[in-house]
Amino acid sequence: MNLNKIAIAGIPNCGKTTLFNELTGSRQKVGNWPGVTVEKVEGSMTFMGKKVTVIDLPGTNNLSPDTEDQKVAEKAIREQEHDLIINVVDASNLSRNLFLTKDLLARTPHVVVFLNMVDMAEQEGMRIDKAALAEELGVPVITVISVDAQSVKNAVSVLEKAIARDPEFLHNKKEASAFLNLSANDAYSRIDAICDKVITYSTKEKESLTDRIDKVVMNKYASIPIFFLSMLVTFWLAIGVGSIFIDFFDILAGLVFVDIPSQLLGLIGAPDWLTVFLAGGVGAGIQTVATFIPVVFFMFFTIAILEDIGYMARIGVVADRVMRKIGLPGSAFIPMVVGFGCTVPAVMAARTLGSKRDRYMTIFMAPFMSCGARLPVYALFAAALYGKSSGLVVFLIYLSGLMMAIFTGFLLKNSLFKGTPSYFVMDLPLYHTPKLSNILKSAWIRLKLFVRKAGAVVVIAVCILGVLSSMGFSDGKLTFGNEDSQESVLSYAGKALSPVFEPMGVSRDNWPASVALFTGLFAKEAIVGTVNALYSSMDMAESGAAAESEEDELDISGAVVEAFTSVGEGFVGVFGTLDILGVGLVTEEEEVIAEEIELDTAVFRHISRNFTPVSAFAYLLFVLMYFPCLAVVGAARQEMGGFYTVILVSYTTLLAWAVSTLFYQIAEGHHPVYGIAAAAVLGFLYLALVLLGKRGHDMKPAKGSAD
Amino acid sequence: MTTSITKLSEIPKGSQFIIKGFENQDSEYAEKLLKMGFVEGTVVERTSADISDPMVFSLRHCRVALRKKEAAEILVKTDM
């Protein structure tokens, strides 16, 4: 028999994804989150001496097309895109797992059961007779411990040998139709009969470890403090520890992709535009992506821990009481937690939710959770203007984001996404001891795919930006090398558009702040670099100095040393103060901040000259809410299609403008006209969403398609 | 027969009951839960986790959290 494609199927939390990661290593094409297998994920492995494709199907309880995940799985199986299905079965709750198995058996001829978590089952006091199970199901059963690399290897070699010995090994020995078209009641009575035959209960059931942990974690009083504590630790790890390595990646990537290439290009006498394109565009783009890597990695890492130990599902339970008020199940909170790290995986994580309405609503709320890329912007402005209360101000911004997410939820519930609020059913997996190698592997795979996907967008964006900021017109001639001067095309555009931002307190003279909002479209942390560069160029223009920046001497060893020292300093900074949220970044002295985010101290002078504390807060509110970065727009489009993505982008941007303006006009109240305009925009938004909600009839659950 | 029927949302912590059916057997909710094994005759236990809404139940060696209001849709009885 010819095996070219193997599909892996199983119910959520059965260890299917761990097995898939173990089998395929990092040879995957799409990112994979437990319970969030976004699409069917493909990888490859060597099986029986040749390369075969392995497809990871979304974890589903059955194959009825009730949810997006199940539709994907059902379609893949119906279209027979595989020669063999490995059905991962969690031995610790056999009957629920066999409910999917019977669906698989009814639909496809070649199934092999990988009986996983036998150790967990034994802890729960159950022993499963493998041979009897194989007999009952009519398909081979092989035991495996998916978290153990050696065990997975053994299981695969058992399968290879069995197939080599007997090509008929995989053929279903029972009539497939035995399980076809059974009602849930009948299916479970058959499954219960099988379970009775194959399971022996060794010990008397006592209170299991999971129940004992749940007693504390899901205690009436303790559950909420524990939830907040887990969030704090997540932040501290992702942002605090992650940011230790930002400079390291920034300096090294800058050296390798920007400084060295531009020096080399200069040596060989390459034309200016080529240097601009390669070093200033592509190189700077790669550098921008590289600075993302540590924070994103640690965010993925901590989220993998929360998932791996089984706490993530409990977060959904604790959050349900709040989420139900906006008509969402508690499980919708999980993507929002992910959003504190990065909005892109948050948008993708909305896939776990049953109904389209729930998914779209979650995607609309996720961008308001302040992601890691926005923190440097807050830190810069806070350091320049708020002194001792910097930490508080940044906290207020985060809180504003959370409140705007909730506001958005209420607004959408009554306008764009009317419809029946869904119910809440959440499986709570057994607690597992986390295994570091698995967590690292899963975080690494996600990081790689993230970098590949987001990287492409950011590199292209920075290229365009690099060219626009370099291109300029002097004496009617197109020139290059106008980076961050007032002559570049980008600066002209910023100046032209600055009146739009005037109502929220960005004066026309303060055009760099407007330009920065454009570079922020590509990635929000780009705002810091732009503001810094443009203010410095203003300085030069004022002092009459030549606009050309002096070439730095290339100092490779110096840069490398600096990169490594930055890690050491970072460790001292974060661990020395147990700095949660990287708050230290926003409370230190100006000079320290400037050094940490590599800015000229002049930028602080400019910020405090151009902004008042109130207008800066309005500006930060705008940065928090407006246009999610391009990578998010890409992800949103993939999940919701163009129509709703356009609404998302317009909604967030208009809301940002209205809220910032309203805040600024009320707090420093200069123009009642602007205040009224902002209120009018809010009114318009509501009206538009209501009208669009009437049009959006596809939101109403089609019969049998909503969860 | 002296079986008394109660709602799943009413049962005390640590107690075991047997599923009888749903208030509305044809609802989407019932359909989903049936597929998850909430079929007639299944033993269901409210675990010792004392969070009161959502509530945590255990059946078929799985723990499932349900909202109190929604658990009231499920009818249980004391014995077969």
pLDDT of residue A547: 36
Assess whether A27 and A170 both reside in one domain.
yes
According to the per-residue pLDDT averaged within each range, which of A176-180, A474-478, A539-543, B31-35 is highest?
B31-35
Give domain status of residue A259, yes or no. yes
- Complete edge-to-edge strand list for the sheet that includes strand B62-66: A425-428, B62-66, B55-59, B43-46, B16-22, B74-77, B5-7
The residue among A247 and B55 whose pLDDT is bigger is B55
Q: Cβ contacts of residue A558 below 8 Å, gap of 6+?
A: none
Q: What separation, in Å, do the N-terminal and C-terminal C-alpha atoms of chain B show?
A: 9
Structural domain span for residue A228: 224-372+402-451
Class (C level, CATH) for B5-77: mainly beta
Instruction: Kindly tell me the sign of the dihedral angle through the C-alpha atoms of A192, A197, A203, A204.
Output: positive
The residue among A469 and A258 whose pLDDT is bigger is A258
The answer to whether the bond into A421 is cis (omega within 30° of 0) is: no
pLDDT of residue B48: 83
| A334-362 residue pLDDT tens | 888 878 777 887 887 787 777 788 889 99
Q: Does residue B14 contact residue A215 with C-beta atoms inside 8 Å?
A: no
pLDDT of residue A453: 66
A321 at interface of B, judged by CB pairs closer than 8 A: yes
Please report, as a single letter, which amino acid is at residue A36.
V
pLDDT of residue A654: 95
Cα pseudo-dihedral A276, A282, A285, A287, rounded to 10: -90
ipTM exceeds 0.95 = no
Written in H, E and C, the secondary structure of A41-61 is EEEEEEECCEEEEEEECCCCC
The answer, yes or no, to whether residue A581 has pLDDT greater than 60, is no
Assess whether A228 and A196 both reside in one domain.
no
Q: Cβ contacts of residue A336 below 8 Å, gap of 6+?
A: A346, A362, A365, A366, A369, A405
Assess whether A252 and A187 both reside in one domain.
no
Instruction: Please give the tally of structural domains in chain A.
Output: 2
Assess whether A251 and A177 both reside in one domain.
no
The answer, yes or no, to whether residue A582 has pLDDT greater than 70, is no
Q: Does residue A110 contact residue A84 with C-beta atoms inside 8 Å?
A: yes
**Minimum mean pLDDT range among A417-421, A595-599, B38-42:** A595-599
The residue among A538 and B32 whose pLDDT is bigger is B32
Q: Does residue A480 contact residue A273 with C-beta atoms inside 8 Å?
A: yes
Last residue of a domain, one of A431, A451, A471: A451
Backbone dihedral angles phi then psi of residue A507, each to the nearest 5 degrees: -70, 165
Tell me what the mean pLDDT of segment A583-595 comes to: 55
A325 at interface of B, judged by CB pairs closer than 8 A: no
Q: How confident is the model at residue A496 (pLDDT cuts 50, 70, 90)?
A: confident
The answer, yes or no, to whether residue A444 has pLDDT greater than 70, is yes
CATH code of the domain containing A128: 3.40.50.300
According to the per-residue pLDDT averaged within each range, which of A163-177, A343-357, A549-563 is highest?
A343-357
The answer, yes or no, to whether residue A579 has pLDDT greater than 50, is no
Tokens 């978590």 correspond to A117
| A514-547 residue pLDDT tens | 888 887 887 787 787 777 777 766 665 555 444 3
Assess whether A294 and A430 both reside in one domain.
yes
| B34-72 residue pLDDT tens | 888 899 889 999 988 888 889 999 888 888 999 998 899
Please report, as a single letter, which amino acid is at residue A84.
L
Backbone dihedral angles phi then psi of residue A486, each to the nearest 5 degrees: -80, -5
Give domain status of residue A514, yes or no. no
Are A426 and B65 a contacting pair at CB < 8 A? yes
Assess whether A181 and A244 both reside in one domain.
no
The span from the CA of A160 to the CA of A4, in Å, is 13
Assess whether A26 and A132 both reside in one domain.
yes
Last residue of a domain, one of A145, A167, A201: A201
The answer, yes or no, to whether residue A321 has pLDDT greater than 80, is yes
For residue B70, what is the nearest residue in chain A, using CA coordinates?
A: A423
Give domain status of residue A346, yes or no. yes
Partners of residue A94 in chain B, C-beta under 8 Å: 61
**Minimum mean pLDDT range among A18-22, A328-332, A396-400, A545-549:** A545-549
Closest by CA to A258, choosing from A529, A631, A566, A565, is A529
The answer, yes or no, to whether residue A33 has pLDDT greater than 50, is no
Assess whether A236 and A318 both reside in one domain.
yes
Q: How confident is the model at residue A638 (pLDDT cuts 50, 70, 90)?
A: confident
Tell me what the mean pLDDT of segment A33-55 comes to: 72
Q: Cβ contacts of residue A535 below 8 Å, gap of 6+?
A: A512, A600, A602, A603, A606, A607
The span from the CA of A449 to the CA of A439, in Å, is 16
Partners of residue B53 in chain A, C-beta under 8 Å: 321
Written in H, E and C, the secondary structure of A592-647 is HHHHHCCCCCHHHHHHHHHCCHHHHHHHHHHHHHCCCCHHHHHHHHHHHCHHHHHH
Give domain status of residue A286, yes or no. yes
The residue among A408 and A540 whose pLDDT is bigger is A408
Partners of residue A334 in chain B, C-beta under 8 Å: none
pLDDT of residue A249: 82
Q: How confident is the model at residue A401 (pLDDT cuts 50, 70, 90)?
A: very high
Tell me what the mean pLDDT of segment A109-123 comes to: 86
Assess whether A182 and A268 both reside in one domain.
no
Partners of residue A217 in chain B, C-beta under 8 Å: 49
The answer, yes or no, to whether residue A646 has pLDDT greater than 90, is yes
Assess whether A151 and A10 both reside in one domain.
yes
The span from the CA of A420 to the CA of A413, in Å, is 10
Are A423 and B70 a contacting pair at CB < 8 A? yes
Assess whether A243 and A348 both reside in one domain.
yes
Are A62 and B35 a contacting pair at CB < 8 A? yes
To the nearest whole Å, the CA of B17 is away from the closest chain A CA by: 16
pLDDT of residue A703: 37
Q: Does residue A53 contact residue A6 with C-beta atoms inside 8 Å?
A: yes
Give domain status of residue A641, yes or no. no
Assess whether A181 and A258 both reside in one domain.
no
For residue B20, what is the nearest residue in chain A, using CA coordinates?
A: A185
